[in-house]
Chain A
């Protein structure tokens, strides 16, 4: 088995890299793949919290790399009934404790056993970023429709291309179709146009996602959450399935208004 290593990065912090990593990991595992997610944000670990695995951590990435435990000891299995494993970051160390070569070697040995290795990249473009992108075959950029996040995404795409990671794919997170329609937010076409990369998916802003994250359950398990549906489709696209990218539009047709008056919840978005 030869797995594929994908780095999830953004440049700017707080745009949803970790949430995206957890959900894509869960999504690929739900599709029957063996998946391992690696948190490389050493010193600021989060992925374990988002996945609800924080109290199971015994060993971490540094322990594995330094040989203080076996690779399998350092991997935490997800609470759900599928093949998803987490390698958490060390909280008491910093980004300079590992070398890009060590992480690459770890990923190469994981690729022998797993279908997908997802690397949650730290914010910034310093050593932690360079370590995280070194082992990757593919890159996924997460951005929000804000100029600051897009600027950073642009920079990161440039750095990834310099690293030989051609054609990174883009996820637009926290998208608000209503605001886009009013002209208060950049639309997905504008963003794709500016960044000149392929789009992998659009995740609508969704309160249920915040709720799920706080509960430590990836939102992809929430069937009623539009963001979860978006992540399912993103996982399918990563898996090679041809799922069309839809334009998010708020529902405001005649039927929608009638339903709204009658109090029927048809979901805020037609599709994502």
Chain B
């Protein structure tokens, strides 16, 4: 088993994990990856994988290059790139975008500040966020996704690696996006996992998540959970004052004529789907098995 310092292969069953050293320059990674795949090309015949880029800030061309390398040298299809949410957060907050290899101190990155309205672009273009910010798109890194996804036809990794650790614990879902500042009017935040906002979501802001949406604050903007079709997704807010919610394809509109937040209890509430309609009920600490609630008619 060729095990270089840079690329380490671990795996069990159908789950294969290529761990790549975060601190090594990209050129070296590409080189090691090529030699590894070249030597073991027959091991990886087909399948779909997702690539975690770790703490690296990669340019678009670099991502394309890795994708091409993997697909050419092995036979797998790269469906998505993803990275830990804190990297995404940092990229957003520092406006470094994907243009700079910050961790490596790459001197050919953009030393100058990024274009003035980059943050605006990041927020306002969901496609941009989803693709270029390298958050998981389809295949979450959890085992659930891995079992179904990668390399069903490929033989398992060599026996030497059977002892190695597999991917993290079960049924925990993918990385969530944590937002600590107010989501203001006009901001659109799209994330392929869960979104947690530890602030207010003001009217005119939009949150679109493939998973659940949790707001520890006042939710008054538009929230769309389960955007990729997950009907089990829920929206929880300590103050759920949104006029319009969406879960999967189903839209819910706050019933008219309700004097807002005067008659109803002011505690945390949860929005969920029942019989293809959005219901809102007081949140009792559970994410499933709801009863009752107010119908938010589409």
Bits for A190-212, please: 1 = Cβ < 8 Å to B, else 0: 00001010000000000000000
For residue B186, CB closer than 8 A to chain A, the reply is: yes
Residues of chain B with a CB closer than 8 A to A134's CB: 116
Partner of A155 from B186, B199, B200 at Cβ < 8 Å: B186
Q: Report which of B117, B120, B185 forms a contact with A154, defined as CB distance below 8 A.
A: B185
* Interface residue tally on A, bucketed by range: 10 to 19
Identify which of B117, B119, B184, B200 contacts A157 (C-beta below 8 A).
Answer: B184
Tell me if A159 and B120 are in contact (CB < 8 A): yes
Once the chains are docked, how many angstroms separate the CA of A163 from the CA of B186? Answer: 15
- Which of A134, A154, A161, A196 has the most C-beta atoms of chain B within 10 angstroms of its own C-beta? A154
B202 within 8 A of A: yes
A73 to B199, CA, bound (A): 49
Residues of B within 8 A of A162 (CB): 116-120, 123
Find the A residue at minimum CB distance from B187.
A158
Q: Are B200 and A158 in contact (CB under 8 A)?
A: no
Residue of B123, B182, B185, B199 with highest tally of chain A CB at under 10 A: B185
Produce 1/0 per residue, A153-195, CB < 8 A to B: 0110111011110000000000000000000000000000010
Interface residues of A in 103-154 (CB under 8 A from B): 130, 134, 151-152, 154
Measured in the bound complex, the distance between the Cα atoms of B115 and A162 in whole Å is 10
Q: How far is the CB of B148 from chain A (nearest CB, A)?
A: 39
User: Are B199 and A196 touching (Cβ within 8 A)?
Assistant: yes
Q: What 1/0 mask marks residues of chain B from 184 to 195 whose CB sits below 8 Å from any chain A CB?
A: 111100000000
The A-contacting residues of B in range 166-208, CB under 8 angstroms, are 181-182, 184-187, 199-200, 202-204
Tell me the bound Cα distance from A134 to B118 in angstroms.
14
Q: Which A-chain residue is minimally distant from B203 (CB atoms)?
A: A151
A154 touching B119 by the CB < 8 A rule?
A: no
In the complex, residue of chain A having the shortest beta-carbon distance to the beta carbon of B218: A194
**Is A151 a contact partner of B185 (Cβ separation < 8 A)?**
yes
A154 touches B202 (CB 8 A): yes
Cβ of B117: which chain A residues have Cβ within 8 Å of it? 130, 159, 162-163
Expressed in whole angstroms, the minimum distance between the Cβ of B91 and any Cβ of chain A is: 14
| CB–CB A158/B199 < 8 A | no
Of B116, B184, B203, the residue contacting A158 (CB under 8 A) is B184
Question: For chain B, what secondary structure do more than half of its interface residues adopt (helix, strand, loop), or is it mixed?
Answer: loop
- Selected contact of B182 from candidates A151, A152, A164, A196, CB within 8 Å: A196
Chain B residue nearest to A11 (CB atoms) is B185
Shortest CB-to-CB span from A91 to chain B, Å, is 28
- Chain B residues with a Cβ closer than 8 Å to the other chain, count: 18
Contact A151 B204 (CB under 8 A): yes
Chain B residue numbers with a CB within 8 Å of A158 are 184-187
Q: Cβ of A196: which chain B residues have Cβ within 8 Å of it? A: 181-182, 199-200
Q: Contact mask B108-150 → A, CB, 8 Å, 1/0?
A: 0000010011111001000000000000000000000000000
Q: Which residue of A lies closest to B118 (CB)?
A: A162
Inter-chain CA distance A134–B117, complex, in Å, is 11
Kindly list chain B residues whose C-beta atoms are within 8 Å of the C-beta of A159: 117, 120, 186
Q: Measured between alpha carbons, how far is A163 from B118 in the docked complex, in Å?
A: 8
Residues from chain A with a CB closer than 8 A to the CB of B185 are 151-152, 154-155, 158
Query: Which residue on A lies nearest to B204, using beta carbons?
Result: A151
Min distance, Cβ B114 to any Cβ of chain A, angstroms: 10
- Name B220's closest neighbour in chain A (CB-CB): A194
Provide the bound-state CA to CA distance between A194 and B221, in Å: 12
Give which listed residue, A155, A161, A163, A164, contacts B204 with CB less than 8 A.
A155
Residue of A130, A151, A158, A161 contacting most chain B CB atoms (<10 Å)? A158
**CB within 8 Å for A155 and B116 given contacts A194-B200, A194-B202, A196-B200:** no
Q: How far is the CA of A130 from the CA of B187 in the complex (A)?
A: 17
Once the chains are docked, how many angstroms separate the CA of A130 from the CA of B120?
Answer: 13
A183 to chain B minimum Cβ distance, whole angstroms, is 11
Q: Inside 8 A of A163's CB, which chain B residues have their CB?
A: 116-117
Q: CB-CB < 8 A to A151: which residues of B?
A: 185, 202-204
Q: In the complex the two chains form, what is the Cα distance from A196 to B218 in whole Å?
A: 12
B-binding residues in A (CB < 8 A): 130, 134, 151-152, 154-155, 157-159, 161-164, 194, 196
Closest 6 CB pairs of A and B: A158-B184, A162-B119, A155-B185, A154-B185, A155-B186, A162-B120
20 A–B contacts, CB within 8 A, in A order: A130-B116, A134-B116, A152-B185, A155-B184, A155-B185, A155-B186, A155-B204, A158-B184, A158-B187, A159-B120, A161-B119, A161-B184, A162-B117, A162-B118, A162-B120, A164-B113, A164-B116, A196-B181, A196-B182, A196-B200
